[in-house]
Amino acid sequence: MITSLTEAPPAPPLRFAAPEGDVARTLLVPLWARAEEQRQPRPLVVDPWACAMVAAFDYDFGVLREAQASQLGCCVRAAQIDRWVRDFLRRHPDGTVIELGVGLNSRSARLDNQRARWVDVDLPEVIALRRAFFPDTARRTTLAMSITEPALYRQLAALSAHGPRLVLSEGVLVYLPPTEVRAVFDQLAHALAGAEVIFDLMRPPVLWCQRGHDAMRHFEAKFVWSEWSEAAVRGFAPTLTLATEVSFYSLLYAHPERLPLWMRWLGPQLADRLPDVRSLYTVLRGRFAA
Ligand SMILES: C[S@@+](CC[C@H](N)C(=O)[O-])C[C@H]1O[C@@H](n2cnc3c(N)ncnc32)[C@H](O)[C@@H]1O
């Protein structure tokens, strides 16, 4: 197992304002979730960088104090993706991991094996912040571009031309209109043929209920992309094969003691009567044909 914590968390004297863009600002939720997770006796994600970054923001993270389910949710999702990234790095220690909409995620530091290359992509205002914490190195490149820009995909192809690549996005595509998500998959399929891919997928009922979301109700950004089935995503990129789909429900309810009491009771009741509840939100892993 890779347990590298060789890159020290940033020292805290810097102060930062929260990002101004509505979508960019959402990075605060998973960042806060990973920082909170460090209070657990056995954190699902070990992320001292998140604590240092939360401490550096002039932002009242107290608004999220009731968001217990989202806190756990962000961490089980991150931990699942970490398992898949570690698996990729075990098979391809010199491969390239491309993270789209990376926010202030420390994955390229916390999973680094001292050999892989990392390409971290996000909007310019986010990358300006990110570079203060995670400077570029010989093996880590940060790109300040929207994932809707065609020029990005030419750069990704050039940066990862030397070997196996994994492209992932965590909690990002849901903020893009469906036509833009389609274009992202289409461009990935062409520019990164042969790459492995990881992303998360919501079903429409999650969007219908987002007003009641324990964390997102404090933010202006809205979830706008969902699909009834993963087959729709394969329609965006016919060369895409999806091998594994893990239900967020199963990840979340593996830790019922950490959920609010009402969710502990209601979730299993609903899932028994309406089994589709288990697949309302999933994390998927697949590959584009070479
Ligand atoms: C909820 S945050 C998730 C951040 C990170 N993946 C994590 O799990 O910590 C959503 C991120 O997607 C980024 N994002 C949204 N739309 C984007 C776009 N068009 N291009 C690049 N990044 C985008 C936001 O700036 C933000 O950092």
Pocket test for ligand 1, best of 27, 104, 130, 224 (most atoms within 8 A of CB): 27
| Residue range 214-241, pLDDT digits in tens | 888 888 899 999 999 999 999 999 999 9
Q: Domain map of the chain by residue range? A: 80-288
Place of tokens 């217990």: 68
- Structural element, H or E, at residue 169: strand 165-169
Q: How far is the CA of 171 from the centre of ligand 1 (A)?
A: 7
Confidence of residue 2 (pLDDT cuts 50, 70, 90): very low
- What number does the ligand 1 atom closest to the CA of 176 have? 16
Give the pair of three-digit tokens for residue 269.
Answer: 């009741």
| Residue range 110-155, pLDDT digits in tens | 999 999 999 999 999 999 999 999 999 999 999 999 999 999 999 9
Beta-carbon-side half-sphere exposure of residue 264 (alpha carbons within 13 Å): 8
In this structure, the residues whose C-beta lies within 6 A of any atom of ligand 1 are 23-24, 26-27, 29-31, 101-103, 105, 122-123, 126, 146-148, 170-172, 175
Residues with Cβ within 8 Å of 2's Cβ and at least 6 positions away in sequence, in order, are: 86, 89, 111, 112, 113
- What number does the ligand 1 atom closest to the CA of 74 have? 8
- Structural element, H or E, at residue 283: strand 281-288
86-104 core/surface letters (b: 16 or more CB in 10 A; e: else): eebbeebeebbbbbbbbbb
Q: SS3 for 41?
A: coil
Q: What is the DSSP annotation of 52-93? A: HHHHHEES-GGGGTT-HHHHHHHHHHHHHHHHHHHHHHHH-T
Residues with Cβ within 8 Å of 25's Cβ and at least 6 positions away in sequence, in order, are: 18, 19, 219, 220, 221
Task: Give the alpha-carbon dihedral of 175, 106, 259, 23, to 10 degrees.
Answer: -20
Mean pLDDT score of the chain: 93
Q: How far is the CA of 93 from the centre of ligand 1 (A)?
A: 26
| Residue range 261-277, pLDDT digits in tens | 999 999 999 999 998 99
- Structural element, H or E, at residue 197: strand 196-202
pTM of the model: 0.94
The CATH code of domain 80-288 reads 3.40.50.150
